């Protein structure tokens, strides 16, 4: 991975491409992430019900793959899903996965 491709993954997104956190169909929490860094912070903030809703619908993987265009983090989130965590265990797993990837990308970019 080149510094330019890591910079692209770390970029600030448009409102249209942001990730919007819902707790169920049509119920928007008011939290959104406009970059991978914001996404990592929001994982620590939003209700675990929202994390469960999106993980098991495949929304995180879809956003990571299609919007961030980071195959690596997409695969790591898929691996988290296979463990079927819920509640705070899910929050911790996602936090660890996303934060680790964020640090890797920041190092590549510096």
Partner 1 sequence: MKLKNQVFSLDGLDWKILRAIQENSKQTYSEIGRQLGVAHSTVYDRIKKLEKNGVIKKWTVDIALEKLGITCITARMTVYTDPKESENVAKKLSEAKEVLEVSLSLSEELLIIAKVIARDQDELHSFIAKKVAPLQGVLRIRTSIITKKIKEERFLIEK
**Does the footprint of partner 1 cover residue 12 (CB under 8 A)?**
no
Half-sphere exposure of 38 (CA within 13 A, CB side): 15
**Does the footprint of partner 1 cover residue 15 (CB under 8 A)?**
yes
Q: What angle do CA 68, 1, 78 make, to 5 degrees?
A: 50
Among positions 2, 4, 30, 110, the unique one binding partner 1 when judged by CB under 8 A = 30
**Does the footprint of partner 1 cover residue 62 (CB under 8 A)?**
no
**Applying CB under 8 A, what is the total number of residues that bind partner 1?**
12
Half-sphere exposure of 1 (CA within 13 A, CB side): 19
**Does the footprint of partner 1 cover residue 83 (CB under 8 A)?**
no
User: Shortest approach of partner 1 to residue 43 CB, angstroms?
Assistant: 18
């Amino acid at each position: 991975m080149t510094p330019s491709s890591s910079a692209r993954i770390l970029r600030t997104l448009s409102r249209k491409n942001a990730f919007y956190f819902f707790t169920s169909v049509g119920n928007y929490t008011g939290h959104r992430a406009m970059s991978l860094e914001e996404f990592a912070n929001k994982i620590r903030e939003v209700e675990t019900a929202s994390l469960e809703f999106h993980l098991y619908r495949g929304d995180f993987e879809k956003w990571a793959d299609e919007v961030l265009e980071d195959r690596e983090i997409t695969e790591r989130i898929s691996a988290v899903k296979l463990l079927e965590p819920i509640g705070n265990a899910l929050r911790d797993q996602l936090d660890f996965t996303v934060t680790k990837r964020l640090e890797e990308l920041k190092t590549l970019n510096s």
